[in-house]
Amino acid sequence: MTGVVMLTAQTARSQAYAQVLQERGLRLAAAVVFGDGKPRAGAVTGPPLVPAGADLGALRLPDLSIPLDETLAAICDEVVRLLVADVNDPAVLAAVRERSPSLLIYSGYGSQIVGASLLDCAPMLHIHAGWLPEFRGSTTLYYELLAHGQCSASALLLAKTIDTGPVLARRHYPRPPAGLDMDYLYDPAIRADLLGDLLSDYARKGGLPPALAQDETSARTYYIIHPLLKHLAILGAEDNR
Amino acid sequence: MTMAAHYPYASGELLDQPQSYQYSPFQGNEFIAAWAHNRAEALADLPPAVTPVRPDAPLATLIVDTMGDGCETLPQLDALLAAVCAGSFNQDQGYALLAPWVKRFEISKRLHTAYGPRLRPRTPEAFRQLAPYLRFAELLEAAWTQWPEWPYFNALLKTLDVLVAHRAELTDAQGATLAWLLGRERAHLEALMNDQGLRP
């Protein structure tokens, strides 16, 4: 896809995105990969849990044993690696500007917020694990599971305030199978699934679907879920299958 | 008592070194037992629970627009609690007023004694008084009882973690309020577990 650049860090989500794009035969003009190589909070330290016989339907789980660099090399015309920790580092901005993207795909660290300078480079596509605008903010996969017994992904263009940008697509997903790692497998898988469909359409039609402004009256913002509620969400999902 | 699971979120100097709660590991059913054990240990150190006296309803008229005005924290939380208990708001109105406080606490896990506009702390180091945390927990509990907004219960759990970690610094009266709050927390959790089809 000419002009489409992925701005990415070394995360399970990035691996999921790259693998789905490869599976669907989609190529990117470039990937800009940032990160200082130091372990991040929540980095996968062992094989994530995949329960035997898990029925995921058409959903594809990422294979975290495949290095991100390997998949990016297969799907990108160019891969740029920057040894910087922050997405808002001037080196990242320079690398993105240099490539004059028509569309950016964002897959950075969850704790970082993309600054205005980067947002001004090109429309920046982000997949949020929650139904917008009702589930804005952090760890919304779990909150939605608690509230409605299902998960969702929403595709939006990033704006200056968190999760408020125009929405391109939303999709519900079923409760994850009992015992499936949610942070490193299920969450990346549903985001990548929606991204793959959106970009397949983009490649076919030459553009994104119409973006819709969010209805602020139903918006709610969530913060990092307390471990007790996280356990309720996971255990409730397991018990209610 | 030994347990395979561990509840590490309510110990240490949490006001100086706040919990981030990021990427908390899944520990199975035993984690809930570990949490319950933590709270039971805290209750054993506290005076018997005493239902806190609610602020008077006329205080509700003192609620400020925290985006435009500064405020003293404790009187402002009193005013919000009075209004919630008096049923002065509908759910959306309540959310509009409480959300800035929830955001402020969730970002720093601290409550300062006074704020300027947009809830910016007036004095960066003035976050060690425990009275605001107790009142905030009361407010969150009252709000959650009225309206099923998950941010309220999430922030309540974290506020109670701070208070449990610092319970040795509470006065007897404050300790009795915390004991009451821990009882309410447990009751809410049992109701949630029933809703989720889990056995308490």
User: What pLDDT digit, counting tens, does each position of B65-91 carry?
Assistant: 777 788 999 999 999 999 999 998 899
Please answer whether residues B164 and B15 qualify as being in contact, where contact means their C-beta atoms are separated by less than 8 angstroms.
Answer: no
- Look at A221 and B24 and tell me if their CB atoms are within 8 Å: no
d(CA A70, CA B98): 47
First to last CA, chain B: 19
Which one of A147, A225, A240 has the shortest CB-CB distance to B197? Answer: A240
pLDDT at B124 over 80: yes
Q: Which of A48-57, A121-130, B55-64 is predicted least confidently?
A: A48-57
pLDDT at res. B57: 66
The larger pLDDT score, comparing residue A48 to residue B75, is at: B75
User: DSSP class of residue A38?
Assistant: P
Residues of A with CB under 8 A from a CB of B: 41-42, 111, 143, 146-147, 183, 217, 220-232, 234-236, 239-240
Which pLDDT band holds residue A56 (cuts at 50, 70, 90)?
confident
The model scores a pTM over 0.90: yes
pLDDT at B192 over 60: yes
Which pLDDT band holds residue B1 (cuts at 50, 70, 90)?
very low
Count of C-beta atoms within a 10 Å radius of residue B115: 23
pLDDT at res. A58: 83
Question: Which chain B residue is nearest to residue A183, measuring alpha carbons?
Answer: B23
pLDDT at res. B58: 67
B153, exposed or middle or buried, with CB in 10 Å at 0-12, 13-18, 19+? Answer: buried
- Nearest Cα residue to A65 out of A16, A109, A25: A16
- Region A46-71 average pLDDT: 80
Q: What one-letter code names the amino acid at B42?
A: A
pLDDT digits (tens, 9 = 90+) for B20-29: 999 898 898 8
Average pLDDT, chain A: 90
Backbone angles phi, psi at A19, to 5 degrees: -70, -35
Residue environment code for B132-142, b if the CB has 16+ CB neighbours within 10 A, otherwise e: bbbbbbbbbbb
- Region B168-185 average pLDDT: 98
Angle, nearest 10°, between helix axes B150-165 and A227-239? 130
Hey, of A161, A163, A183, A223, which one would you mutate to test binding to chain B, going by the most B CBs within 10 A of its CB? A223
- Region B5-28 average pLDDT: 93
B161, exposed or middle or buried, with CB in 10 Å at 0-12, 13-18, 19+? Answer: buried
pLDDT at A125 over 80: yes
- Look at A229 and B35 and tell me if their CB atoms are within 8 Å: no
pLDDT at res. B10: 97
- Region A57-61 average pLDDT: 86
pLDDT at A43 over 70: no
pLDDT at A42 over 60: no
* Residue B102 C-alpha, separation from nearest chain A C-alpha, in angstroms: 9
d(CA B85, CA B83): 5
Chain A residues within an 8 Å CB radius of B103? 221, 223
d(CA A221, CA B105): 13
* Residue A76 C-alpha, separation from nearest chain B C-alpha, in angstroms: 31
Chain A residues within an 8 Å CB radius of B92? 217
| Residue written as token pair 């509620």 | A229
Which pLDDT band holds residue B63 (cuts at 50, 70, 90)?
confident
Chain B residues within an 8 Å CB radius of A223? 102-103, 106, 151, 154-155
- Nearest Cα residue to A22 out of A68, A65, A53: A68
Q: What one-letter code names the amino acid at B65?
A: D
Chain A residues within an 8 Å CB radius of B26? 230-231, 234
Classify residue A107 as left (phi > 0), alpha (psi -120 to 50) or beta.
beta
d(CA A68, CA A73): 9
- Region B34-61 average pLDDT: 90
- Nearest Cα residue to B42 out of B71, B7, B68: B7
**ipTM score above 0.85:** yes
pLDDT at res. B67: 75
Please answer whether residues B63 and B57 qualify as being in contact, where contact means their C-beta atoms are separated by less than 8 angstroms.
Answer: no
B21, exposed or middle or buried, with CB in 10 Å at 0-12, 13-18, 19+? Answer: buried
d(CA B107, CA B103): 6
Count of C-beta atoms within a 10 Å radius of residue B112: 21
Which pLDDT band holds residue A48 (cuts at 50, 70, 90)?
low
pLDDT digits (tens, 9 = 90+) for B160-171: 999 999 999 999
Please work out, in degrees rounded to the nearest 5, the angle formed at the alpha carbon of residue A12 by the alpha carbons of A198 and A147.
70
Q: Is the dihedral of CA A208, A210, A216, A220 positive or negative?
A: negative
Please answer whether residues B180 and B49 qualify as being in contact, where contact means their C-beta atoms are separated by less than 8 angstroms.
Answer: yes
Classify residue A187 as left (phi > 0), alpha (psi -120 to 50) or beta.
alpha
- Region A113-125 average pLDDT: 93
- Region A228-232 average pLDDT: 95
pLDDT digits (tens, 9 = 90+) for A169-183: 999 998 888 888 888
Which pLDDT band holds residue A1 (cuts at 50, 70, 90)?
confident
- Nearest Cα residue to B40 out of B10, B4, B13, B17: B10
What is the distance of C-alpha B56 from the center of its chain? 20
A12, exposed or middle or buried, with CB in 10 Å at 0-12, 13-18, 19+? Answer: buried
Compute the radius of gyration of chain A from its Cα atoms: 17
- Look at A236 and B198 and tell me if their CB atoms are within 8 Å: yes
pLDDT at res. B185: 98
The proportion of chain A whose per-residue pLDDT surpasses 70, expressed as a percent, equals 91
- Look at A239 and B151 and tell me if their CB atoms are within 8 Å: no
pLDDT at A45 over 80: no
pLDDT at res. B56: 77
Those residues with Cβ within 8 angstroms of residue A211's Cβ, 6 or more apart along the chain or in another chain: A156, A157, A165, A166, A167, A168
- Region A211-240 average pLDDT: 89
Q: Where would I find the beta strands (DSSP E) of chain B?
A: 71-72, 114-115
